[in-house]
Every structure is written in structure tokens, then in C-alpha cells.
Amino acid sequence: SIGGERNFRLRHRESKELVQITLGSGSLLVMSGLSQQCWMHDVPKTKRHVEPRINLTFRLIHSI
């Protein structure tokens, strides 16, 4: 992410455990392996003013 901070939320599919992480500018989050199968994720909407940001998402990574 580049720009304003955002809260990133993870919820475990079975236990419903909730984890929230603040992603600041320049942060990198990698979800691999079981994180994609066991956890739901979102960036919740907020009513407070937030700074703009750019998010880059790579769905597949290929080794060369």
C-alpha cells in the first residue's frame, strides 16, 4: 500500500477469531498457503476521513 493507513481485518472461517492489522504506507502483506483457505479478509468501510491510497494486488506469483 502507498498512501493513507487502512485497517485490514481477518476472520477465521471455523473459529470466527477476528484479527485486525493497521496497514501503513509502504506496507506489504503476503497471504499464502492456508491463509487463503482458512481466513476471510476485508478492508472495512469507515465513516471517518481517510487519506487516499494505492493498493497493488498480485494474485499469482510465478518463479523464474
pLDDT, tens only, 23-57: 999 999 988 888 889 999 999 999 999 999 999 88
Q: What is the CA radius of gyration of the chain?
A: 13
Strand partners, 11: 18, 40
Q: What integer pLDDT is reported at residue 42 of this predicted model?
A: 95
* Full-model pTM: 0.80
Q: What integer pLDDT is reported at residue 49 of this predicted model?
A: 93
Indicate the pLDDT class of residue 3, thresholds 50, 70 and 90: very high
Where do the domains of the chain lie? 2-47
Cα–Cα distance for residue pair 5/57, rounded to 1 Å: 16
